[in-house]
Amino acid sequence: MNSSYIKFTGLTVAIIVVLSTFVGCRHYLDREIESNYREDEVFVNYERMSEAGYGVYAFLFGQFGFHRINNAMLASACDEADHADINSLIQKFNLGTWTAVENPESAWQHFYQGIRRANLFLENSINYKEIVFRDTLDADNKSKYEYDVRDIAWLRAEVRFLRAYYHFELIKRYGGVPIMTTTKYSAEELNSLGRQRFEECVDFIKNECDSLLPHLKDTWVGFDSDKWRGRVTKGAALALKARLLLYAASPLHNPSNDIEKWEHAAEAAHDIIAMNRYGLHSDYRALFRLGNGADGNTEVIFAQQGWNRNDFEKMNYPIGYTQGGQGSTSPSQNLVDAYEMKATGVPITEPGSGYDPQNPYQGRDPRLGFSILTNDTQFKGRPVEAWIGGLDGLGKRKATTTGYYLRKFVDENLDLARNESSVHTWLLFRYAEVLLNFAEAMNEAYGPEATNGYSMSAKAAVDRIRRRTGVEMPILPPGLSQQEMRERIQNERRVELAFEEHRFFDVRRWKIAEETENLPIMAMQITRNSDGSFDYLVVKAENRVFEEKMYLYPIPEMEVLKSGGALTQNAGW
């Protein structure tokens, strides 16, 4: 099979197009995707046309999830964690040395590639019924024809969702961007495209989500032996809309605090709650190891489909285990301090909380132990030795830099010496986030305990998360002010959604990053005494730099230059 390749940089593309998903072949959504067909070889039958559509899902990879930025998680670019490798590109975020030329995250190019791939599929599959009919002329193939037509109809709606989602991922980083709904531009026209206002982009994405709902399935669980697990559903479109409107209502994009925007965000989140399809999983620790929702995990709304791998464990097992590990993502003391006391349900800094600095992990919110490996925690047959001189201790090469190791997402059952692996699935939308989105919007629109005709208040939504089976934190006290509830919701997001790529963007949309991201990353220095007890001392691990201009990413400088001024740069860059 002949193949051609193009160079795609941001909005500037060659006219010749190749619909390749990956270099070579890979399984995606349980299909073998053959790459490197020319466009005129793709839209000729169901099989190749559907492969082109499923290929748009491929752009969910690379910009979300496990150690994706030079072996680092995005958590290490905010106050959640420190990356153990000081030479990783992620450090540019932390040191404030990233620029419009050197950005550790190449989101502009990546998502516009995905958007163009979506547009190619949508434009060339518009006559899909005729294409599929030609492919199934035999009368005996009538049932196959009906199946294939139905599948392409669903797939076209799913690809429109992905196109909207990729636009959202751009605007949450850059603000307003060019909206791309066609490939029918000349190179000159592409280079002269300007940015739509942020509000125009929000309207486009919202309208896409609304119009797609009648054309998406409610669920893929149980359909066709679950081989299509992970495809877009109505719930995914509603979840994107709810997240989109929450961002649009937040201080970064709503400086005048237009309450109507918060009202719209609350309504959008409640639309998902009212479906009564989703719920909180009973095991927070297992939630991130159970896959994609096809197994009955009702908390999962939409997930990036995974494959068997062990590279994440190789990067994040504690260093001292014989099977090897590098402790790459070192959770910060800043994050550890955010986990409240279980008995009292209050922050550790509050008088009477019950916190003991010399037994710092005792009696804490169970999500701390589910998400972070602390000193003396049992792991793979022995306690973690994070103390100075311990097998996993501070100061050893490739060891934690903070006194902590990542536990969330990590499969503890793998024998790396035997190269064992397991499926790792990154959750893009889950029900707990929906509840938190609803709580935040409700609090801003109506206050902490008002329902305004909805099924619950902001407080009730947060309480539901805190009372998850196996977590069972005390409910929030009644009578909190709006500001107090705002602070509790922000902290609840911090611990519930830790390491899931929310905090990095949350502190930006809340316009508090100049406070949170300029604080040093703190660590726990642990000394083991002769009697086996430990002394704990909080110390500084790393200074961080955040400037006002960093609330938004810079448009890549090459794109600005090629546009001849049509693309305006974000302020400060």
Give the tens place of pLDDT for each residue, 222-277.
787 666 778 999 999 999 999 999 999 999 999 999 999 999 999 999 999 999 99
Closest CA to 408 of 281, 282, 285, 497: 285
401, pLDDT greater than 70:
yes
Phi, psi of 379 (to 5 degrees): -150, 120
| Residues of each domain in the chain carrying CATH 1.25.40.900 | 217-306+425-511
- 426-447: per-residue pLDDT in tens? 999 999 999 999 999 999 999 9
Is the predicted pLDDT of residue 135 greater than 70, yes or no?
no
Q: Assign domain 217-306+425-511 one CATH number from 3.20.20.80, 3.30.70.260, 2.60.40.10, 1.25.40.900.
A: 1.25.40.900
d(CA 92, CA 550): 12
Confidence of residue 555 (pLDDT cuts 50, 70, 90): very high
At residue 285, does pLDDT exceed 60? yes
Please tell me the predicted confidence (pLDDT) of residue 99: 97
Helix residue spans in 97-194 (DSSP H): 107-124, 128-135, 142-174, 187-191
Question: What 3 state SS string does 59-106 have?
Answer: HHCCCCCCCCECCECHHHHCCCEEECCCCCCCHHHHHCCCCCCCCCCC
Kindly state the average pLDDT of the residues 380-387. Answer: 95
> Which residues face 302 on adjacent strands?
429
Question: CB under 8 Å to 327, separation ≥6 — which residues?
Answer: 84, 316, 317, 318, 319, 392, 398, 399, 400, 401, 405
pLDDT at 233: 95
Residue 130's pLDDT band (boundaries 50, 70, 90)?
confident
Q: For the chain, count helices (H), then strands (E).
A: 19, 16
Q: How far apart are CA 305 and CA 424, in angstroms?
A: 8
Using 50, 70 and 90 to split pLDDT, how confident is the model at 185?
confident
Q: Answer for the pair 262, 187: CB distance below 8 angstroms, yes or no.
A: no
**What does the pLDDT average to over 173-186?**
95
Q: Is the pLDDT of residue 45 over 90?
A: no
Query: Does residue 2 carry a pLDDT above 60?
Result: no
Report field, pTM of the whole predicted structure over 0.85: yes
Query: What secondary structure does DSSP assign to 477-491, as a single string?
Result: PTT--HHHHHHHHHH
Question: CA separation (Å) from 222 to 237, 293, 507, 540?
Answer: 20, 11, 39, 51
